[in-house]
Amino acid sequence: MTTSELTNQARLLISCHDQPGIVAAVSEFLYTKGANIIQSDQYSTDPEGGMFFMRVEFALPAFEDRFPSVQMEFAEIANKFQINWRLESARRTKRMAIFVSREDHCLLELLWRWRSGELSVDIPLVISNHPDLKEIVESYDIPFYHIPVTKETKPEAEAKAISLITEHDVDFIVLARYMQILSPHFVETFEHQVINIHHSFLPAFIGANPYKKAFERGVKLIGATAHYVTNDLDEGPIIEQEVLRVNHRYSTEDLKIAGRNVEKIALARAVNWHVNDEVIVHKNKTYIFN
């Protein structure tokens, strides 16, 4: 869908304890605001006391005038049902920062999709702890910032990165094979706004060298996992996973090559779902409405 087609559309994401009347209240509210519901998806973990999740996409005539009142007045319904909610304007293009180290396959996949119009974001900057990919990034007319990281300089490096992210009004961050562990302060500053790609089918083979571990176990499937970053290493809410069948003829290097393909596919899907407000996070799980 083009940007022009989204100029009068918005997305409402809600989560709360399941109870009667939620769908009716939301629908009635949007009707009174003159909104036309385009798509509505919902899921209940258990109708008897479980959690309820809902994503509603709607068109709103006279968007500029009505959207602020929708934002303000929905709070009354949210309070009544104790709803956690988020209302997003589809016309606003999210701003994505990319963190990368030396490997370029995930970075290039995102840049290609962005340039081709498949990924509707702005990319105001790329940050790296190595200078290797500077020329590639700048060929896309995107500013590249080299921020070296050592054990001793990590706090200063993260402070500089946070300053740049704030300065560029970034909405979310993608770790496109950024080989650094983020501090608790950084993660808390951007809760559920940092997406990582792990080169393994989590929860198997967490940490470093997953393809070596996979080779040693003689796996028949390899995979990649895109997830939100938390302070528990490689254990954040999973957004997407991709797998590829392999066999005993694959060497460790063959597994790495095949793995790069599943990594970039899983990451691109996860980023696209995040951009389109199709992900609801609850505790350590995600609910995807795509």
212-248 tens-digit pLDDT? 777 777 778 888 999 999 998 888 999 999 998 888 8
Mean pLDDT of 72-101: 97
CA 145 to chain centroid, in Å, comes to 22
Region 4-89: CATH code: 3.30.70.260
Examine the residue annotation and report whether 122 is marked as an active-site residue of this protein.
no
Neighbours of 271 (CB within 10 A): 28
CATH of 94-288, one of 3.90.1170.40, 3.40.50.170, 3.20.20.70, 3.40.50.360: 3.40.50.170
Among the listed residues 18, 41, 234, 277, the single catalytic one is 234
The pLDDT of residue 211 is above 70: no
Mean pLDDT of 246-256: 85
Q: Which pLDDT does position 249 carry in this prediction?
A: 87
Where in the sequence of the chain do the CATH 3.30.70.260 domains occur? 4-89
Neighbours of 91 (CB within 10 A): 16
Place of tokens 């993608």: 174
Q: Using pLDDT thresholds of 50, 70 and 90, give the confidence band for residue 177.
A: very high
Could you give the CA distance from residue 153 to residue 161 in angstroms, rounded to a whole number? 12
Where in the sequence of the chain do the CATH 3.40.50.170 domains occur? 94-288
pLDDT over 70, % of the chain: 94
Q: Which pLDDT does position 235 carry in this prediction?
A: 87
User: Residue 58 burial by CB count (10 A; 0-12/13-18/19+): exposed, middle or buried?
Assistant: buried
State the DSSP H helix or E strand holding residue 58, giving kind and residue range, or none if neither: strand 51-59
Q: Which residues pair with 11 in a beta bridge?
A: 57, 88
